[in-house]
Amino acid sequence: MISAVIALMLLSALLIAFAVLSRSEPTIAGNQTRSLQARAMAESGVEQAIWALGSSTANSSTAPYDGSAYVPVGTLGGFFLTIGNGTAANEKVLDAVGWSPTYASTGVQTAHKHIRLTVTKIKWLDPPAAFSVEGNLATNGSSLTVSAAADRSCGDKNGTYTSGTVSSTAHPTIVGGGSAAPEMAGVPTSIFDQYTFTNADLDMLKALAKANGTYFRGSQTFNSSNPWPTSGIVFVDTPSGNNWNCTPPGPGQTCTNPPSDTFTVSISGSGSMPTLNGWLIVNGSISWSGNAAVNGFVYSQNDINITGHVTVEGAVMSKNIIDTSSSSIDATLGGNVDVAYNCSYAKNGNNTIPSGWFIKPGTYREISD
C-alpha cells in the first residue's frame, strides 16, 4: 500500500510537470521563432545595403540608411539600417537591427537582433602610367613600346612612372597620353604609395583567388606546358602565406620576413600561353622572358623584369618592397615588349574582376544593444 501511494505521488508529480511544460513549450517555440525571424530581418537589411551601395543610391546621411527609419518587410517584421564609413575608402560598416513581428520598444511579444559587419569592394589603384616602378627602371631595345596614348578615358597617363630614375638604351618608344609626359621620374615615395596595395588589400585579393581556385604559393613557372589561369585574380603568395612586414616606406626596406619568403614567378618558354584576362598579383618578384599576353593588371610586390615577347593591354606596376636586385636597377623592360595603357582592362580585367560589394571575411557578428 505504501509503495503504491509513493508511486502514485511520483506519477502525479510527473503529470503535473508535463502539463506545465506543455503550456510553456508553445511560448518557448514562439520566442525562438521570433528570434530567428528577427535575425532574418537584420540580414534583409544587410542585403538591401549591399544592393543600395552597388546601385549608388545609398546616402548614409538620410533615411533609411542613417538608422532613423523602420523598414517593414511584409508581415514578418522589419529592420533599421545604418551605413557608416569603414577604415578604408573601399569599406563600409553596416549596422542592421531586425525586429519581429514588428518594431516595439516594449512588450514581450517582439524580438530583435543586431548585426554588425563590414562590406568591402576591390580597391581600384588607378595606375598613373602604363608601367610604374617604385624604384629605378631600365628600358632597352628599339622593339620596346610603352604607351598611354591610345586610351585617355581615365585621364592623361604617363608612359612610365618611377620614384627613381629611368635609363634607356637603343631607342625604345615611350609615349604619354595627351598632355602627360612620356616619363615621370623621381616621384616621392609618399605619393607613389597611394597607387599600391596595402596588406589588407592583399588579404582580400588572396581570399577571392582562393575561392576561385587561382591562388598559388611560392616559386611558380608559367609556360605553354604549365599555363596560368585564363581569367580573374591570379594571386601568387609568399611560401609562408604571410605578407611582407617591412619598414620604413619605400624601396630598400628592412623586412622581418625570413629569406625563404623571397621568391620569383617565372613566365618563360617560346610557346604561347592563353591570354590572361584579369589581374596577376605576385607577392614577390616576376621574371618574364616568354611569350604571353595579359588584358588587365600585372602587380609585383618586388622586382619585375620583362624581356620576352610580351603584350600587356592595361597596366604594370612594381612596388619593389625589398631590394632583391643585384644592381641599382629595380625593374627592366627589353625585348619585343608592348605595354599599352588601357583603363578598362586594368580596372576590370576584361570584365573578370568582381566590381560589387561583399562581406569582409571575419567581420560578421551579432552584438547586444
What cell numbers appear for 76 in the block? Answer: 514578418
Task: Please report the beta strands in 271-364, taking only residues with DSSP state E, as ranges in sequence order.
Answer: 276-282, 285-288, 292-300, 304-306, 310-318, 331-333, 337-341, 358-359
Spatial separation of the C-alpha atoms in residues 187 and 194, rounded to whole Å: 12
Q: What is the pLDDT of residue 355?
A: 87
Spatial separation of the C-alpha atoms in residues 334 and 144, rounded to whole Å: 6
Residue 321 neighbours by CB under 8 Å, 6+ apart? 244, 246, 251, 253, 255, 301, 302
Nearest to 354 by CA among 132, 119, 85: 119
Query: What are the residues facing 83 on neighbouring strands?
Result: 94
Spatial separation of the C-alpha atoms in residues 174 and 159, rounded to whole Å: 6
Query: What are the residues facing 145 on neighbouring strands?
Result: 173, 338
Q: What is the pLDDT of residue 20?
A: 66
Spatial separation of the C-alpha atoms in residues 328 and 14, rounded to whole Å: 87
- Give the H or E element holding residue 92: strand 91-100
Q: Do the beta carbons of residue 207 and residue 151 sit within 8 Å?
A: no
CA distances from 33 to 38, 75, 96, 101 (A): 9, 14, 19, 10
Phi/psi for 6 (5° steps) reads -60, -45
**Degrees (nearest 5) of the Cα angle 234, 238, 243?**
95
Nearest to 209 by CA among 279, 258, 137: 279
- Give the H or E element holding residue 117: strand 111-120
Q: What is the pLDDT of residue 261?
A: 94
For the chain, state the CA radius of gyration. 29
Spatial separation of the C-alpha atoms in residues 182 and 159, rounded to whole Å: 5
User: For the chain, where are the alpha helices, taking DSSP H only?
Assistant: 2-54, 189-192, 199-212, 343-348
Q: Do the beta carbons of residue 339 and residue 312 sit within 8 Å?
A: yes
Q: What is the pLDDT of residue 368?
A: 85
Low-confidence ranges of the chain (pLDDT < 70): 17-30, 107-108, 248-253, 323-327
Q: Which amino acid is at 121?
A: K
Spatial separation of the C-alpha atoms in residues 186 and 106, rounded to whole Å: 65
Query: What are the residues facing 359 on neighbouring strands?
Result: 119
Q: What is the pLDDT of residue 251?
A: 56
Q: Do the beta carbons of residue 283 and residue 244 sit within 8 Å?
A: yes
Instruction: Note the pTM of the prediction, 2 decimals.
Output: 0.83
What cell numbers appear for 213 in the block? Answer: 581556385
Phi/psi for 26 (5° steps) reads -60, -35
Q: What is the pLDDT of residue 271?
A: 79
Q: What is the pLDDT of residue 138?
A: 95
Nearest to 240 by CA among 267, 222, 258: 258
Spatial separation of the C-alpha atoms in residues 58 and 49, rounded to whole Å: 7
Spatial separation of the C-alpha atoms in residues 346 and 361, rounded to whole Å: 25
- Give the H or E element holding residue 108: none
Q: Look at phi and psi of residue 163 and say left if phi exceeds 0, alpha if psi is from -120 to 50, else beta.
A: alpha
